[in-house]
Amino acid sequence: MRRGLAVYAALAYLFLHAPLLILAAFSFNTSKYTVWEGASLVWYRALWEDGRLLEAAWNSVLIGCAATVLATAMGTLAAYAMWKRGARWLEGAFFLSLVTPEVVMGVALLAFYQWVFHFLDVRLGMHTVIAAHVMFSLAYVVVVVMARLRTMDRSLEEAALDLGATEAETFWRVTLPRMAPAIGTAALLVFAISFDDYVITSLVAGVDSETLPMLIYTMARRGVSPAVNAISTIITVAVGVMILMAERWRRA
């Protein structure tokens, strides 16, 4: 039984990881086709010389950072306030936003932006993408931070107040430091989700705000290119390193 499970698990892990490993391996292939012709970094060099790709990557990083800062800050404050006392409709909205299909969220935002543009002189662009990302990541931040708050002893805050700290000092000096690991995890999650999003982004992005996933999507539809393998590998490795570092930092 145990042996059977172990064999099954080995196969399952192979299923989970082999595709990405193979993808990465072929990013070092010299040939344009899926026939191994020797290792080289030609496709990585090609990426470096591709202006459109660099711009898309820069956009993605910019959007990701902005969304991370905004969503993490707003979500943390909201989670703390909701931990103090529930906020019913907000909780409901967060829950719904978590289960709403991405494509529905995307078309709804598109419809909303177009409607707002009747009254304002704005166009789709980086700002609309960032706003969308902040919105759909908020619920994740709240879930992660709230999970941490739930394990916290409320009497700690009372003790701080009892010792003469004001409410603001208590939050800043007692509660926030204890939430820090969860806030870090939440920030990482927001960046990963934002950096990865294609469905919503593609619906609300303007001509000047093509992101990396949008470019990968276009390339993937057009046909096979080891260049896509190379970008994919870079993204996967970068995210992996980020997670490992975060894990280290959290344990330290």
Partner 1 sequence: MVMRKWFLLPARAVMAALFVAPMAIVAAYSLLTRGAYGGQGAPWTLENYARLLDPLYAGIAVKSFWIAGVSTAVCLAMGFPLALFIARARSRKALWLGLVTLPFWTSFLVRTYAWMFLLRDTGLVNTLLLGLGVIREPLPLLYNDSAVVLGLVYGYLPFMVLPVYAVLEKMDGALLEAAGDLGARPWEVVWRVVLPLAKPGLAAGGVLVFIPCLGAYLTPDLMGGGKSILIGNVIQNQFTTARDWPFGAALSVVLMAMVMALAWVARRRGGEGGLP
| Span 43-102, contacts to partner 1 by CB under 8 A | 73-75, 77-78, 80-82, 84-85, 87, 90, 93-102
Q: Which of 1, 120, 207, 252 binds partner 1 (CB under 8 A)?
A: 1
At its nearest, how many Å lie between partner 1 and the CB of residue 137?
10
- Calculate the CA 11 to chain-centre distance: 28
How far is 160 from 175, CA to CA, in rounded Å?
A: 10
At its nearest, how many Å lie between partner 1 and the CB of residue 245?
13
Closer residue to partner 1, CB minimum distance, 55 or 102: 102
- Contacts of residue 160, defined as CB under 8 A and 6 or more positions apart, other chains included, come to 169, 170, 173, 174
How far is 130 from 70, CA to CA, in rounded Å?
A: 9
Q: Which of 63, 149, 228, 230 binds partner 1 (CB under 8 A)?
A: 228
- Contacts of residue 34, defined as CB under 8 A and 6 or more positions apart, other chains included, come to 26, 224
Q: Which of 42, 61, 143, 152 binds partner 1 (CB under 8 A)?
A: 143
* 108 interacts with partner 1 by CB under 8 A: yes
How far is 28 from 41, CA to CA, in rounded Å?
A: 6
Q: Which of 120, 168, 207, 252 binds partner 1 (CB under 8 A)?
A: 168
Closer residue to partner 1, CB minimum distance, 62 or 110: 110
Residue with tokens 């908020």: 138
* 199 interacts with partner 1 by CB under 8 A: yes
Give CB contacts under 8 A, 24+ apart, made by 23-26: 23/229, 23/232, 23/233, 24/229, 24/232, 24/233, 24/236, 24/237, 26/226, 26/229
Number of Cβ atoms within 10 Å of the Cβ of 141: 28
Q: Which of 183, 195, 209, 230 binds partner 1 (CB under 8 A)?
A: 195
Number of Cβ atoms within 10 Å of the Cβ of 94: 21
* 207 interacts with partner 1 by CB under 8 A: no
At its nearest, how many Å lie between partner 1 and the CB of residue 144?
10
At its nearest, how many Å lie between partner 1 and the CB of residue 94?
7
Q: Which of 39, 41, 54, 103 binds partner 1 (CB under 8 A)?
A: 103
Closer residue to partner 1, CB minimum distance, 68 or 229: 229
Size of the site for partner 1 (CB under 8 A): 82
> Please, which residues bridge with residue 39 across strands?
29
